[in-house]
């Protein structure tokens, strides 16, 4: 093992101002089971594909019940959402919740409404972009798709869907000055979570009075083992759906435009060969990996590559590093829209495979398809500003001009 550079995966500066991929490369080759100390203790970081996939596939050992985000939830002896929110629940409880959430939000009627709404919101945003000759992709175009998802699945008018999106963006970006303002990170996180719960509590009251076919109404009618879902379970899973359906696709779409600006040969090839859209989309998911990691907590001691990890330790699974693992992907630092096979871990794998992956793929397919159909080409028209977050690898601002 060579002498370690200073790598702190908890530092947002690494993701907003530096190059996390250089750090991941060093870790994969020199310290793939890495202890990352922090002021409050520390956590283990897995950066190799096989180790991360193994952890995903063994929820009995790598538990989700203590929360999936470092420092990102209310904590007592265990995460308050444990056993109630899908992503912070282990089998068999996880299976029961996933079934209800899937039936509520991803049934055929809901998916049809969602696709129609996403297309309408996206086309309107692109119309404005074209009319203005450019704009900020990250704030004016990318949010249109998840706004459509929230409007359709939650049964919300566009302005309320946009309000909810702003709340979830603040929750994920709680360490970024643009979202926290003069508040501390902790205050911003707590306030944003409370604001989201208040939003959904009000929505639950409305749906009790006037039920519909939206996800909230369906969860109010859902039963687990013969009993209705508790209100806290509904609130937590609405939060889960809102955040998961919002933040990842927004940043993936923005990074996709930036990636094509940086790799114009690949974009020109896609314009000439639109039949490559499917493989291009999967390569963008691999390349961007905007959900950088998830946290797990060990239920028993394990030894990985000679490192002994205790029961109760936090272990982070770095999807963005796994997607650049040289043992799995040929020339992984080369962006190639024809790459196949492409078994990236952007959506996880196993029981905790992202429940919204199908919608995310539809959103990106619609986004890329619309760019190709319009023949849009972009160039940067100002500095790119990345999000100060190690959980969501995101872009705050991406100013572009349209070019012929």
Q: How far is CA 272 from the centre of its chain?
A: 30
Q: Which of 160, 229, 89 has the alpha carbon at shortest distance from 216?
A: 229
| pTM confidence score | 0.94
Which residues, including other chains, have CB under 8 Å from residue 208's CB and lie 6 or more apart?
220
The answer to the question of residue 13 being in a domain is no
DSSP type of residue 392: B
The answer to the question of residue 347 being in a domain is yes
The answer to the question of residue 255 being in a domain is yes
C-alpha span between 171 and 165 (Å, rounded): 10
Q: Are 230 and 348 in contact (CB under 8 A)?
A: no
The answer to the question of residue 76 being in a domain is no
What sign does the dihedral 176-182-185-188 (CA atoms) show? negative
The answer to the question of residue 32 being in a domain is no
Backbone region of residue 305 per phi and psi (left: phi > 0; alpha: psi in -120 to 50; beta: other values): left
Strand, coil or helix: 200:
helix
C-alpha span between 49 and 57 (Å, rounded): 12
Give the DSSP letter string of 78-93.
SBTTTTTSGGG--TTH
Which residues span the domain enclosing 227? 83-291+336-403
pLDDT of residue 81: 82
For the chain, how many structural domains are there in total? 1
The answer to the question of residue 43 being in a domain is no
pLDDT (tens, 9 = 90+) of the chain, 404 residues, equals 456 678 999 999 999 998 899 999 999 999 999 999 998 889 999 999 999 999 999 999 999 998 898 875 544 445 678 888 999 999 999 999 999 999 999 999 999 999 999 999 999 999 999 999 999 999 999 999 999 999 999 999 989 999 999 999 999 899 999 998 888 888 998 899 999 999 999 999 999 999 999 999 999 999 999 999 999 999 999 999 998 767 789 999 999 999 999 999 999 999 999 999 999 999 999 999 999 999 999 999 999 999 999 999 999 999 999 999 999 999 999 999 999 999 999 999 998 899 999 999 999 999 999 999 999 999 999 999 999 999 999 999 999 999 98
pLDDT of residue 210: 96
pLDDT one-digit tens code per residue, 30-68 = 999 999 999 888 999 999 999 999 999 999 999 999 889
The answer to the question of residue 110 being in a domain is yes
Which residues, including other chains, have CB under 8 Å from residue 396's CB and lie 6 or more apart?
138, 139, 173, 176, 178, 385, 386, 387
Give the DSSP letter string of 302-342.
EEETTEEE-TT-EEEEEHHHHTT-TTTSSSTTS--TT--S-
DSSP type of residue 159: H
Q: Strands, DSSP E only, in 155-265?
A: 223-224, 227-228
Tokens of 392: 């969501």
Exposed / middle / buried, residue 30 (Cβ in 10 Å: 0-12, 13-18, 19+)? middle
pLDDT of residue 51: 98
Give Dmax over CA atoms of the chain in angstroms.
64
CATH number of the CATH domain containing 155: 1.10.630.10
User: What size, in residues, is the chain?
Assistant: 404
pLDDT of residue 76: 43
The answer to the question of residue 234 being in a domain is yes
């Amino acid at each position: 093992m060579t002498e370690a550079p200073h790598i702190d995966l908890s530092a947002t500066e690494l993701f907003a101002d530096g190059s996390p991929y250089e750090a991941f490369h060093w870790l994969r080759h020199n310290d793939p089971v890495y202890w990352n100390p922090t002021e409050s203790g520390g956590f283990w970081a897995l950066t190799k594909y096989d180790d991360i996939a193994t952890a995903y596939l063994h929820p009995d050992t790598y538990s989700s019940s203590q929360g999936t985000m470092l420092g990102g939830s209310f904590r007592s002896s265990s995460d308050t959402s444990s056993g109630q929110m899908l992503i912070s629940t282990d089998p068999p409880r996880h299976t029961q919740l996933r079934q209800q959430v899937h039936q509520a939000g991803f049934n055929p009627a809901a998916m049809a409404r969602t696709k129609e709404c996403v297309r309408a919101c996206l086309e309107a945003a692109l119309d404005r972009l074209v009319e203005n000759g450019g704009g900020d992709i990250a704030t004016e175009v990318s949010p249109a798709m998840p706004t459509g998802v929230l409007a359709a699945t939650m049964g919300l008018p566009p302005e309320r869907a946009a309000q909810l999106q702003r709340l979830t963006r603040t929750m994920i970006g709680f360490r970024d000055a643009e979202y926290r303002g003069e508040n501390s990170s902790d205050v911003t996180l707590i306030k944003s979570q409370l604001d989201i719960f208040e939003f959904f509590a009000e929505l639950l009251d409305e749906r009790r009075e006037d039920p519909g076919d939206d996800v909230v109404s369906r969860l109010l009618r859902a039963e687990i083992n013969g009993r209705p879902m508790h209100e806290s379970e509904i609130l937590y899973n609405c939060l889960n759906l809102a955040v998961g359906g919002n933040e990842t696709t927004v940043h993936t779409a923005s990074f996709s435009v930036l990636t094509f600006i940086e790799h114009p040969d690949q974009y020109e090839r896609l314009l000439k060969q639109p039949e490559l859209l499917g493989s291009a989309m999967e390569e963008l998911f691999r390349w961007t990996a905007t959900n950088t990691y998830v946290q797990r907590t060990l239920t028993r001691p394990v030894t990985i590559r000679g490192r002994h990890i205790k029961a109760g330790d936090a272990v982070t699974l770095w999807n963005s590093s796994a997607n650049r693992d040289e043992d799995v992907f040929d020339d992984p630092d080369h962006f190639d829209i024809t790459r196949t096979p492409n078994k990236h871990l952007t959506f996880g794998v196993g029981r905790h495979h992202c429940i919204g992956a199908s919608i995310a793929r539809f959103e990106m397919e619609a986004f890329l398809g619309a760019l190709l159909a319009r023949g849009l080409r972009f160039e940067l028209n100002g500095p790119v500003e990345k999000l100060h977050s190690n959980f969501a690898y995101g872009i705050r601002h991406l100013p572009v001009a349209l070019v012929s």
